[in-house]
Structure 1
């Protein structure tokens, strides 16, 4: 079973360096501008997204 968790961060680049140092594996196929997806061997994933990306999602929901 897969598990996904998404977290807003101020700096995706800085958070990517930190999470890579913790041993998480970056999944470039699921990452893009302003986002980074990490996966563990157990099928757990977490996505880092810029706060700007989250703000635009909320704005779209309000429209």
Structure 2
């Protein structure tokens, strides 16, 4: 049995934050999501619009 992982004392890496904002499919809808701050965009039928939501979030709404 493996011991539980300890929280890392490593500095925050902005590259990891950028990679953590993406889209995910939920049924017929695509949502933009940010795993850094927990943001979830509205459900979109268009993947392109969901990606645009992610871009707008990265540009101004995400606290990172």
- Fold in common (TM above 0.5): no
Q: TM-score normalised to the size of structure 2? A: 0.24
Structure index of larger Rg = 2
Highest RCO, 1 vs 2 (Cα 8 Å, sep ≥ 6)? 1
Q: Which has the higher helix share?
A: 1
Q: Which has the higher strand share?
A: 1
Q: TM-score normalised to the size of structure 1? A: 0.24
